[in-house]
Amino acid sequence: MKAETYLKNYIQKTSSIVKRLFEKKEREFGKVSSIGKEMMEIYFNFMGGKNIRGSLTKLGYEIFGGKNEKAILEASLMVEIAHAFLLMHDDIMDQDALRRSLPTVHIQYERIYRKIYKESNPEHFGLSMAIDLGDAGFALAYLLLGEADFSPEVKTRVLKRFSQQILTTAFGQALDVNYEQASKIGEADVMRIHHYKTANYTITGPLQYGALFAGAKEEEIKKIEKYGLQVGIAFQLRDDELGLYSDEKKLGKPIGSDIREGKITLLHLKALEFAKGTDKKVLQSAYGNKNLTLAQIKKVQEITIKTGALDYSQKLARRLVEKGKKFVPEITTDPELQDTLYKMADFMIERES
Amino acid sequence: MKAETYLKNYIQKTSSIVKRLFEKKEREFGKVSSIGKEMMEIYFNFMGGKNIRGSLTKLGYEIFGGKNEKAILEASLMVEIAHAFLLMHDDIMDQDALRRSLPTVHIQYERIYRKIYKESNPEHFGLSMAIDLGDAGFALAYLLLGEADFSPEVKTRVLKRFSQQILTTAFGQALDVNYEQASKIGEADVMRIHHYKTANYTITGPLQYGALFAGAKEEEIKKIEKYGLQVGIAFQLRDDELGLYSDEKKLGKPIGSDIREGKITLLHLKALEFAKGTDKKVLQSAYGNKNLTLAQIKKVQEITIKTGALDYSQKLARRLVEKGKKFVPEITTDPELQDTLYKMADFMIERES
């Protein structure tokens, strides 16, 4: 099946479940205070995106023979809800103001406070509420797991795998935060962040949770790792490309924020390595510049192409995808499911948002 | 048993388990990067405190007939690890610099960054790392639950109860953050925060997780709620008192930070209500004052006593504790365990830190 179709079907099938879940929580919390109701509304509105992780959880379930569609749709939402939590916290750390075409949660709360309370520090309140709402969302994800329509044995195995995975992702995020400031970062370091922060989290983990929900053994879920690692790193390379070359409308977040943040992407690293003279200086003064201009972004885009850095990244991403695909036959022998895994792999680097 | 003895025994018996756990994680993460090792070291050093929540988890287990001490000691640490995570995030929101006699985690990281990286914004990095390390700790708490030596059925029930509890606590925290800015807050609102943010989280929840680990039924754990609610609110009233009248050395955190933050405590509310003339003005200019002086703290301490606000809070706390104790016979008929629950209740308002 085409990856886009698979994702679209997943979103279609889960949208009413997500809505009902948050409506229930709004009622529960709304009974006590309008603040609780508002929290759940903001969380619900923040849900969205491509639903890659939820879809892959469902796909992993199907690959390992799972047949209870209702149960897996409900359970897989834990992954999307947890993803929203991580984005909320990530947006604080990256000081991003836009996400999924909406103000990020800390900015939304900053605005709410600015309106209600005249004095004091709206930025700090925005940040506090976004930390807190993220924590609430993380707990909600686990609550969904607890309530999922699977056996306690299965849920306990997912509990372990999922927690280990988030722990690793937080560790990857720490590398990311630290490396932004470090002076000697090489391609291997960037790959290490992508491995820990993205690949396991976005591809391997979700497929594995799905597999575990279907009752797969530990040896079986191991087989997903090689596919997930290659395809997952490729996913991140494409993400960094889109972050530099897409447009805000398509992407739902501003272009060039990686430049402003001084994020060490492969594009950044390679452009710096390949650039000479003035170009190198332009890159150095743009990356990490909090007052980045549009003209500077354009310049960085040009230099990244001109030096061959974009080409380098794209070719690597393609190689990784092709390498990842080689492991598909180890995961499943079903031709249709194999086909979906191939197309998912391609999608990760062909997607426009 | 005396509450202090129960807590001391718990700390003694768990300290080596905590140490081993974090050493293992340091090794795991240290293999990939020194940053991961450092994260686990900082987390380990941040562990500590009175261990009320872990101890109550063990006590709940014993009350409901649990016999596997090793298993409950290991499993109960999830509560203390999660508590450390919430404190990390709480300290960011409250902008506190000291906790458990150590710099708070965001301040520790701020200093690390100041040392390593010359330019850029150390405050933001400190904050980012404290958010991230908290998230890691939350995942680690759940991982411990997944790995605990109990049946999957039991673990799934704890998973649900615990997640629901953290969700409620996050909601209580949101009330707290919001009410700091609100103009019309009454005693009922303060009690509501204490209920959602503290009582369930500190007393009811831990006793219930323990009970669930011992295989208690949902109806049985219900019986803990009345005790937990009264005693838990009393705990918070004492906490607020200590925060105003203890000393930094005993408390491990600065005195008067509730004043500086403008936190709506019962002491704050009642002192304002009872005070007249200049006293009222002194209170109004002290609460929420980021540049609070020692002389102002002293003045607030005096006025809170003089107006009878302290007495009001202390008497209420005592009444709540006595009310809570009345529910002990519903929880257990064992005289020794009843005795420990009585003494735990007293401890919550008699403790000096």
Please state the φ and ψ torsions of residue A229, each to the nearest 5 degrees: -65, -50
- Is pLDDT above 80 for A117? no
Residue A54 domain boundaries: 1-222
**Residue where a domain stops, chosen among A222, A245, A273:** A222
Measured between alpha carbons, how far is B20 from B15 in angstroms, rounded to an integer?
Answer: 9
A205 shares its domain with A278 = no
B105 domain-assigned: yes
A72 shares its domain with A106 = yes
Q: Which of residues 169-208 of A touch B (CB under 8 A)?
A: 170-171, 173-175, 177-178, 181-182, 192, 196
Q: Indicate the DSSP class of residue A204.
A: I
Amino acid at A133: L
Measured between alpha carbons, how far is B123 from B114 in angstroms, rounded to an integer?
Answer: 9
What six digits make up the tokens of B327?
């529910």
- Put simply, whether A1 touches B (Cβ < 8 Å) is no
**Cβ A51 vs Cβ A14: under 8 Å:** yes
**Residue where a domain stops, chosen among A222, A244, A273:** A222
Provide the mean pLDDT of chain B.
Answer: 95
B271 domain-assigned: no
pLDDT for A129 equals 96
pLDDT in tens, A58-70: 999 999 999 999 9
B113 domain-assigned: yes
Measured between alpha carbons, how far is B158 from B205 in angstroms, rounded to an integer?
Answer: 10
pLDDT in tens, B147-206: 999 999 999 999 999 999 999 999 999 998 888 767 788 999 999 999 999 999 999 999
A90 shares its domain with A196 = yes
Answer whether A159 sits within 8 Å of B155, measured CB to CB: yes
Measured between alpha carbons, how far is B342 from B336 in angstroms, rounded to an integer?
Answer: 10
A144 shares its domain with A280 = no
- Is pLDDT above 90 for B280? yes
pLDDT for B118 equals 63
Token look-up 């923040």 returns: A46
pLDDT for B119 equals 58
Provide the mean pLDDT of chain A.
Answer: 95
Q: Which chain B residues contact residue A132 at CB under 8 A?
A: 89, 93, 170, 173-174, 177
- Is pLDDT above 90 for A177? no
Q: What value, to the nearest 5°, has the Cα angle with vertex B111 and ends B135 and A97?
A: 50
Q: CA nearest B30 in A: which residue?
A: A171
pLDDT for A178 equals 84
* pLDDT confidence bin for B292, thresholds 50/70/90: very high
Q: What is the mean pLDDT of residues A337-342?
A: 98
A246 shares its domain with A175 = no
Q: Give me the helix-helix angle, B122-147 and A69-93, nearest 10°.
A: 150
Helix, strand or coil for residue A287? coil
B93 domain-assigned: yes
Strands A102-103, A98-99: pairing is antiparallel
Answer whether B160 sits within 8 Å of A171, measured CB to CB: no
Q: Which ipTM did the prediction report? A: 0.96
Q: CA nearest A128 in B: which residue?
A: B93
A116 shares its domain with A174 = yes
CATH code at A240? 1.10.600.10
Q: Which chain B residues contact residue A127 at CB under 8 A?
A: 92, 127
A227 domain-assigned: no
For residue B99, list its beta bridge partners.
B102
C-alpha dihedral, B234 to B236 to B240 to B246, nearest 10°: 80
A164 shares its domain with A198 = yes
A54 shares its domain with A161 = yes
pLDDT in tens, B3-15: 999 999 999 999 9
A255 shares its domain with A218 = no
The number of folded domains in chain B is: 1
A282 shares its domain with A210 = no
Q: How far is CA A261 from CA A94, A95, A99, A207, in A?
A: 7, 8, 15, 31
- Put simply, whether B156 touches A (Cβ < 8 Å) is yes
Token look-up 């019309």 returns: B184
A62 domain-assigned: yes
H or E stretch at A99: strand A98-99
CA nearest neighbour of B18 among B91, B108, B106, B84:
B84
**Rounded percentage of chain A residues whose pLDDT exceeds 90:** 87
Point out the residue among A128, A156, A173 whose CB comes nearest to the CB of B155.
A156
A1 shares its domain with A76 = yes
* pLDDT confidence bin for A118, thresholds 50/70/90: low
Measured between alpha carbons, how far is A257 from A297 in angstroms, rounded to an integer?
Answer: 9
**Residue where a domain stops, chosen among A222, A255, A273:** A222
Point out the residue among B135, B152, B153 whose CB comes nearest to the CB of A89.
B135
A92 shares its domain with A203 = yes
| C-alpha neighbours within 13 Å on the C-beta side of residue A63 | 31
Of A116-125, A305-314, B242-251, which gets the smallest average pLDDT? A116-125
B181 domain-assigned: no
A228 domain-assigned: no
Q: CA nearest B136 in A: which residue?
A: A167
pLDDT in tens, B51-61: 999 999 999 99
pLDDT in tens, B127-148: 999 999 999 999 999 999 999 9
Q: Which of residues 113-132 of B touch A (CB under 8 A)?
A: 113, 116-117, 120, 124-125, 127-129, 131-132
**Cβ A36 vs Cβ A29: under 8 Å:** yes
Answer whether B89 sits within 8 Å of A135, measured CB to CB: yes
Answer whether A143 sits within 8 Å of B175, measured CB to CB: no
- Put simply, whether B353 touches A (Cβ < 8 Å) is no
What six digits make up the tokens of B31?
């293999």
Measured between alpha carbons, how far is A252 from A245 in angstroms, rounded to an integer?
Answer: 13
- Is pLDDT above 80 for A96? yes
Of A25-39, A129-143, B296-310, which gets the smallest average pLDDT? A25-39
Q: Indicate the DSSP class of residue B252.
A: S
In three-state form (DSSP H/G/I as H, E/B as E, the rest C), the secondary structure along B13-31 is HHHHHHHHHHHHHHHHHHC
pLDDT for A119 equals 58
pLDDT for A156 equals 98
Answer whether A133 sits within 8 Å of B36, measured CB to CB: no
